[in-house]
Amino acid sequence: MGKDTGFLEFKRMENGDIPAEERIKTFEEFHTPLCSQERRQQAARCMNCGVPFCQSAMELSGMVVGCPLHNLIPEWNDEIYREHDRHAFDRLRKTSNFPEFTGRVCPALCEKACSCGQYGDPVTVHDNELFLVESAYAGGFVKPLIPEIRSGRKVAVVGSGPSGLAAADELNHRGHLVTVFEREDEIGGLLMYGIPNMKLDKSVIKRRRKLMEEEGVTFITGVDVGKDRKAAEILEEFDAVVLCCGAKKARPLAAADPEKVKGVYYAVDFLTKNTKALMKAKDRSVASLRKQGGFIDAAGKNVVIVGGGDTGNDCIGTVIRHGCRSVTALEMMPQPPTERAGNNPWPEWPKILKTDYGHEEAIKVFGHDPRVFETTVKSISTDKKGNLKEITTVKVTFSGGKLSEVDGSEKTLKCDLLLIAAGFIGCEDYTTDAFKLERSSRGTVLTEAPGGDSRKRDYYGYHIPKTRIFSAGDMRRGQSLVVWAIAEGRACARQVDEYLMGYTNL
């Protein structure tokens, strides 16, 4: 695929970034694309390897290698190189519902498994995908695909995150009548309100919504199923119900309760308020956001973020744009190595230290990496009015799966704003209670294996035994990547279709 000697002739070139000192003035996306010729050279680097691990999604050492969607990466890289953009997009659309999302926020499992990366630099699959889908929109290749025949079966999808949208998209194209319920005022789930605008511009989600509505999907926002609408009503009205409500039950921090201490917030609540205010602002500049108001402002504050994942990084980038006085990110786990370890060879996911955009911006603004590893919050202090004033941190160690504090390692930090980005512990109780569902010890919905054997609830079942209810995404899998959520939604749609029709061609 591509040019036979492309990986020898052309060096890897990623999309560029607007300099940190400039991009922190706005919430605009900050990646700058290569020109068309350079992008085709990057696609030409895709070698005609015998086994394309990039699209395999096979399990090695307990982790998945390659793309969970099984994207036909070598095929569309070849088409990009040969300037057959429409054919390339057709190949991409065959396996991926929303490449405009994954082309922006996916960590690119495909690239880490690329054969070129064994001894050199992998192909820029992530950037190639984004080029392809945006070129398709610009070229008019993305048009409504309206089913010619409707089945008459009605499906309710509860939750409009990536898994819910993928399930709705697949089932609608199959000809079923799909209604998506979303409790927020906009669709997208964490795509809309969990991921900041500088990573995923919200106009991209609205563009996809418009397309899906033209294709026949009905979206009902501002309705919380389980509260505003009873589960029994939904089950009576629809032939099948797909629950894709996410895993938004935040992991609490014992030392600080957001409901009791002023200045303590869960990260997703902080990011949600920021995006909602930004969407009302005149433009995406920091100045316009501040004029709009209605968000949790970190300007002039000493900020501490608990959690070292993607959400923690997004919080770093956001508070820096606000103009925080300082930012510290606490991570309980040890610092990963800076290079692949000998027991973590290609094509496995590299367990190495990642310096993301937020960390880069903090280094530029404050002169150092904000992360402190093997550390957590031990206690907090407030002023007489109950406002957060400072925190005490402590070093921790893991031994035999147990967490222990290191005596004498306590430190006091000034802290006006504490953001908890420590992950999630499953789906929210009221939804599962409303539908009378059983949950695992991880807080996820229990489903059955394909074939209907309720005694064998394996990893790939999406059907709730003896009901017309299905579940997919983080609600069933636990918190994971956007690309996994899309893969789950697609696989769930296949089982729903088979349930409704007795067979499936999805």
Q: Is 199 helix (H, G, I), strand (E, B) or coil?
A: coil
Task: Point out the least confidently predicted range of 48-57, 81-90, 163-172, 490-499.
Answer: 48-57
CATH of domain 6-138: 1.10.1060.10
- Name the band, by pLDDT with cuts 50, 70 and 90, for residue 360: very high
Q: Is the pLDDT of residue 455 over 60?
A: no
Q: Retrieve residue 504's tokens.
A: 């499936």
User: pLDDT digits over 170-199, tens only?
Assistant: 999 999 999 999 999 999 999 999 999 999
Q: Where in the chain is the domain with CATH 1.10.1060.10?
A: 6-138
pLDDT tens for 267-280 read 999 999 999 999 99
Q: What is the pLDDT of residue 457?
A: 43
Residue 465 pLDDT: 83
Count the Cβ atoms, other than its own, within 10 Å of residue 364: 14
Comparing 228-232, 460-464, 487-491, which segment has the lowest mean pLDDT?
460-464
Cα 138–chain centre separation: 25
Sequence ranges of the chain with CATH classification 3.50.50.60: 154-249+425-501, 264-420
pLDDT surpassing 80 at residue 242 = yes
Could you list the beta-strand ranges (E) of 258-399: 264-266, 302-306, 326-331, 371-373, 375-382, 388-399
- pLDDT value, residue 449: 61
Tokens of 188: 């997208």
Topology at the third CATH level for domain 154-249+425-501? FAD/NAD(P)-binding domain (3.50.50)
pLDDT value at 102 more than 80: yes
Q: What is the pLDDT of residues 13-38, one digit of tens each?
A: 999 999 999 999 999 999 999 999 99
What is the rounded distance in angstroms from the CA atom of residue 307 to the CA atom of residue 5? 43
Helices (H) and strands (E) in the chain, counts: 19, 18
Largest CA distance in the chain: 71
Q: Is 419 helix (H, G, I), strand (E, B) or coil?
A: strand
Q: What is the pLDDT of residue 460?
A: 57
- Taking alpha carbons only, the member of 243, 250, 229 closest to residue 423 is 250
Lowest mean pLDDT among 18-32, 155-169, 386-400, 438-452: 438-452
Cβ-Cβ contacts under 8 Å for 266 (sequence gap 6 or more): 250, 258, 419, 420, 421
Chain-centroid distance of CA 131 in Å reads: 20
Residue 454: predicted pLDDT: 43
pLDDT of residue 40: 97
Q: Which CATH architecture has domain 264-420?
A: 3-Layer(bba) Sandwich (3.50)
Tens-digit pLDDT profile for residues 400-431: 778 899 999 999 999 999 999 999 999 999 99
* Calpha distance 191→485 (Å, rounded): 11
Above 50 in pLDDT, residue 456?
A: no
Give the burial string for 367-391 (b: 16+ CB within 10 Å, else e).
Answer: eeebbbbbbbbbebebeeeeebbbb
Instruction: Choose among 211, 201, 78: nearest CA to 141.
Output: 211
